[in-house]
Amino acid sequence: MGVENFTEVGTKVVAIGFNYPTVADGFIDIPEVPLIFLKAKSSYITEGQEIVIPPDCKEVIHEVELGVVIGKRAKNIKKEEVFDYVAGYCAVNDITDVAFLRTALKKGTHWILAKSCDTFCPVSRFVPKEKIKDPDNVEIYCLVNGEEKQRDNTGIKAFDVPTILEYITKYITLEPGDLVLTGTPVGSTIIHPGDKVEMGITGVVHATFYVKK
């Protein structure tokens, strides 16, 4: 399908917020439908590049997620046909400034600064969909300086991959190479300059990034 270099060929990153029940605690009620937001394509980095914390960002956290790479144009697709439109997967870290996010949630404003700063979307290499039998039953994890911070099965999400893609494509056309983030489990912590951040899908893919100011 020609989307192995999805960070280059895709047009956008569509993400789902608060999709793991324990993560929503203390922020918002569990959404009744997928909570959609966008990350800028310019926030992508791949292995060998660094996560850069902007000078005025004080509470930047890691959020490991399963990413779904779209293989062909998708509009108004149904749950039962979703995987015909999926090319593959990746591990993603939805780097987030919690201070900006907290303010946005309180004031009802946009999440752009919380989610879309340059380097705030580190991704692993592309994984063909044949390598993952069921994206709603894989383990994702994140380590910081060798210490495990997040590890959970994607099956505990409030909304599974078919539900997410059906819902998004009712409103937003997904193009080949677009990336859909499916939410992060509990365990996110603040990262600091000098930290080593590792993430992956157990038994499938692993990626390492370093943090700088």
The 3-state DSSP class for residue 63 equals: coil
What pLDDT shows up at residue 28? 66
Supply the pLDDT for residue 55: 93
Q: What is the pLDDT of residue 108?
A: 86
Element (H, E) at 121: strand 121-122
Q: Look at domain 6-212 and name its CATH class.
A: alpha beta
In the block, residue with structure tokens 């190479």 = 177
pLDDT digit string, tens, across residues 54-100: 999 989 999 999 999 999 999 999 999 999 999 999 999 999 999 99
Q: Which parts of the chain sit beneath pLDDT 70? A: 1, 23-28
- Residue 30 is predicted with a pLDDT of 74
3-state secondary structure of 55: coil
Q: Look up residue 2 and give its two tokens.
A: 């020609």
Domains of the chain, residue spans = 6-212
pLDDT at residue number 24 = 54
Going by C-beta distance under 8 Å and a sequence separation of 6 or more, which residues neighbour residue 3? 9, 10, 69, 70, 71, 87, 88, 126, 176, 177
Q: Say what the pTM is.
A: 0.95
With a CB cutoff of 8 Å and minimum separation 6, the contacts of 84 are: 72, 77
